[in-house]
Amino acid sequence: MTIFATRGALLPMLGLMPLAAANAEGFIDDSKLKLQLRNVYFNENFRDEQGLSPRAARTAKSERTEWAQGFLLDYQSGFTPGFVGFGVDALGLLGVRLDSGRGRSGSGLLPVHDDGRAADEFSSAGMTAKARIARTTVKYGTLLPKTPVLVYNDARLLPQTYQGTQINSTDIDNLALTAGHLERFKLRDSANSMPIVPDGYSGNEAGDFSYAGADYKLGKAIRLSYFFGELENFYRQNYAGIQHDLALGAGVLTSDLRYFNSVDSGSAYSGRIDNDMFSGQLSYAVVGHTFSAGYQKLSGEAGLPYISGATVYSFSNVGIGKFIEEDEKTWMAGYGYDFARLGVPGLTFSSRYLSGSDGKSGSAVREWERDAEIAYVVQQGIFKGVGVKLRNYVYRSDFSRGRDSNRIYFTYDVALW
């Protein structure tokens, strides 16, 4: 794979968009332009050669270490006046290598050339046309879908993007309806548009992804959700969820129950799929502390299917592992603290431990992961909005290489208007 990218490709039409509707009240007045800066250092060390063949073990990397700077320019217009309002959005993305090496590439921050070296830079730009009637909006172009059956990945330098159509409606109070049809996507570390495939699939087939669903607020304490998604000729997936808040003592107890049912679809290019995944999590927030515990069980044939490169809508989608192998059972315990209670607003800490067992990846396996994160966002002064986040992940498994990972994020959002 060869990547060609230039800074000049970052914003091909942003400067011209407002001119197209210079006299349209609302199109300009309600528009927004934001620049987000992301500086990411990624270091990951492999601790064993579990799951590798003897030949692969001899050439396997011992670490992945890269440092990169990302620029995200996000323009969102308002809508023209009238019964049907029209608008346009644009997203410009640029990633620049600051440090890498042939033996240290592949962190997910930057594209990798055929010779194993990371690209000096990569960029892409996307346009989205939109129309609004009352509280229903239709978008066509570059999208960042965020639903239980498909969540775009934004865990590295630049976000994963999709190409297609999406409809959102909130015309009925307390009810949000969403539907979409996607045709192509770009991975978070690539400027290349590619057909949509499921994670782990290495064949030549691909399909469009369609989804629809609803979120409903039942009073102030209960939130209900149902979504359906289908990757053509690969799999169909149903999701149902319920969240409930309960005042308990000085704090709030939140319960979060989720259910996925997945089956193969059409030609079933990625093989037989027929499984259910149940997960439940309880969180108790009190005087700055948040204690959480969860359990997840996957049963049936194959692991939980999802789109390549995307995020899984589950508490088990953590820093390294996903804990969604065939028949896997997973326990989770977590703790977080908001230091605003101690007079330091903007400073937070969180940690999680997950243990998965009975999963099948050729044979019965176990895996576990321990995550910790401390983050701070400057609240006032000249550096207001500057954020720093430190993450540490430790992962061990019977079927995959163990990893110790440290990541540092510096971010700054600038509202240009």
Neighbours of 413 (CB within 10 A): 15
pLDDT bracket for residue 74 (50, 70, 90): very high
Give the span between the Cα atoms of 32 and 413, in whole angstroms. Answer: 13
pLDDT tens for 390-411 read: 999 999 998 888 999 999 999 9
User: What confidence tier does 53 reach under pLDDT thresholds 50, 70, 90?
Assistant: low
DSSP percent split of the chain into helix, strand, coil, nearest 5: 5, 55, 40
Give the percent of the chain with pLDDT over 90: 84
Say if residues 108 and 176 touch (Cβ distance below 8 Å): no
Higher pLDDT, 20 or 148: 148
* 3-state DSSP assignment of residue 411: strand
- Report the pLDDT value the prediction gives residue 15, as an integer from 0 to 100: 43
Check residue 359 and give its pLDDT.
Answer: 87
155 phi and psi angles, rounded to 5 deg: -100, 5
pLDDT at 275 over 90: yes
Q: Is the pLDDT of residue 217 over 70?
A: yes
pLDDT above 70 for 57: no
Amino acid at 221: A
> Sign (positive/negative) of CA torsion 310, 316, 320, 326?
negative
In the predicted structure, residue 170 carries a pLDDT above the cut 60: yes
Check pLDDT > 80 for residue 63: yes
Nearest 5°: CA angle at 193, between 192 and 198? 115
**What's the average model confidence in pLDDT over 263-274?**
97
Average pLDDT score over residue span 36-42? 98
Partnered with residue 122 across adjacent β-strands are 95
Taking CA atoms, 270 is separated from 190, 196, 214, 310, 313, in Å, by: 23, 13, 28, 17, 21
* Mean pLDDT of all residues in 121-139: 97
Q: How far apart are CA 124 and CA 218, in angstroms?
A: 41
The total number of residues shown for the chain amounts to: 417
- Give me the pLDDT at residue 56, please: 54
Q: Tell me, what's the pLDDT at 19? A: 40
* Antiparallel, parallel or unpaired: β 161-169 and 136-143: antiparallel
Q: How far is CA 18 from CA 33, 74, 131, 190, 376, in A?
A: 11, 14, 16, 29, 35
Give the pLDDT score at 18: 43
Segment 96-126, tens digit of pLDDT: 999 999 999 999 999 999 999 999 999 999 9
* Residue 330 structure tokens: 């997973």
Q: Confidence class of residue 386 from pLDDT cuts 50, 70 and 90?
A: very high
Residue 70 has pLDDT above 50, yes or no: yes
**Whether the predicted pLDDT of 52 surpasses 80:** no
Average pLDDT over residues 255-273: 97
pLDDT-derived band at 14, boundaries 50, 70, 90: very low
pLDDT > 90? residue 26: no
pLDDT at 55: 58
> Per-residue pLDDT for 241 more than 60?
yes
The residue-averaged pLDDT of 121-132 equals 97
| CA–CA gap between residue 294 and residue 290 (Å, rounded) | 13
Instruction: Please give the mean pLDDT across all residues of the chain.
Output: 91
